[in-house]
Amino acid sequence: MVSEMKTASPAARRRNARVFRRRPGPGAAARSGSRRSHVPALDGLRGLAVLGVLLFHLGDFPGGFLGVDLFFVLSGFLITGLLLREAGENGGRIDLVAFWGRRARRLMPALALALGSAMVLASVLGTAAMARFAHQDAPWVVANLANWHFIDAQVGYFQANPTRVFTHLWSIAVEEQFYLLWPPLVLLLLRLRRTAGAGAGAVAVAGVALVGALVSAALMALLVDPMDTTRVYEGTDTRVFALLLGALAATPAVRLRVARLPGPAAGRLALVPAGLLAAGWALASGTGQIVLFRGGLLLHSAAAAALIALLAHAPASPLGRVLSRRPLTVLGGLSYGLYLWHWPLILLLDHAGPRLDGWVRTLWLGGLAVAVAACSKALLEDPVRHWARWAHGRPGVLAAVGTLAALAALWLVLPLIAPTASGAVVDVTQLSLP
């Protein structure tokens, strides 16, 4: 290769030199694998999911809360696909430490920034109740146990709750718990191929995903309390079926069967689960619909998994092209930061910002949340995830420890600077509004 550079033209030598200078960073292999299987239509689905949640929390779209379920299914599909591909390329081996490191670089920086900023803003702009609850809830967010904390505190998700800036982070906790437990289980199941023959491990992953999803959905149906659905709506055990159905869609047992469909037929078939999702979002309100917890959410997640599998096989279908349009894919790229920031901004600016109503309020708060998410992605998330060499290996561990220490210091100092950030709220009417 070097001798070819010597005999090439000056322009060619300059191009080759640029290629040589762009040496891949520590995470390049994983990123290139992601690019090989990248489906823009799935970014568009993610954009629709976060748009639904945003409009739900703004009070403009009652069925938008189902965007969280779509997020879950997408996460299960993408993560399991990455794990199975890594195992296929490395003789059944999965580097769990590297996997968790990638997840930390993807999720931790934006979460830490949003968490610290929301605590400070709640103390400066919010009510005393907002500041106190932000201080009380933050450690559970850091521990990725926010969902169980809110269940224990009986903080209902479907009641208007103008005092808790972190209630939306229950779903991040569920995903983080899945990321912690599912990869080792996948690795254990894949090792069956050594004793039971090639392909047995992948079949076992599909079987466990299917059985686990059915058990989880059954638990939701059995444990649901019509008076308060918080336990089954936020519990990891009763919500993991959405993630597992996404995981099932990523296994060869499903993907090989879907691959037998001609592209045009798969594209037409994708309209069926898409229609089911649209009907569910249009009809769901999230309150008083016990059918959601006795099969409705399971059906929604199954339709989402089917749609994702079909789009992954036929991304050039008419529906795939619609979902691949730039506004949706850009929104999908911002979805994580937008999800983190939108609810604190809505609460704090509804309290301390200009008094606006209707679509003017929606455009103001939604536009601001998108702008903040775009800054987070461009200035923090992408640099740490793709380019920062210090975010890998031992320096990365030290950076993570330093970030946690900074959050702990902020948590300790805030009550001294803003006394309303500590203590208990004794007026129970502040907990939720009917």
Q: Which pLDDT score is estimated for 37?
A: 66
**Model pLDDT for residues 96-110, shown as the tens digit of each residue:** 999 999 999 999 999
The model's pLDDT over 326-380, given as tens digits with 9 standing for 90+, comes to 999 999 999 999 999 999 999 999 999 899 999 999 999 999 999 999 999 999 9
pTM value > 0.85: yes
Three-class SS state of 377: helix
Q: What is the pLDDT of residues 229-243, one digit of tens each?
A: 999 999 999 999 999
pLDDT value at 73 more than 60: yes
| Per-residue CA distances from 50 to 177, 220, 258, 335, 395 (Å) | 21, 24, 27, 6, 33
Scanning the structure block, which residue is given the tokens 């992605």?
A: 377
Tokens of 404: 């946690």
| Structure tokens given for 84 | 């199975």
Q: Three-class SS of residue 371?
A: helix
pLDDT confidence bin for 248, thresholds 50/70/90: very high
- pLDDT of 8 higher than 50: no
Beta-carbon contacts of 275 under 8 Å, excluding residues fewer than 6 positions away, are none
Question: What's the whole-number average pLDDT of the chain?
Answer: 87
d(CA 433, CA 18) in angstroms, rounded, equals 60
Q: Which of 182, 187, 216 is nearest to 202 (CA)?
A: 187
Mind giving me the DSSP string for 11-25? Answer: HHHHHHHHHHH----
Q: How confident is the model at residue 160 (pLDDT cuts 50, 70, 90)?
A: low
Question: pLDDT digits over 163-207, tens only?
Answer: 899 999 999 999 999 999 999 999 999 987 666 555 788 899 999
228 pLDDT band (50/70/90 cuts)? Answer: confident
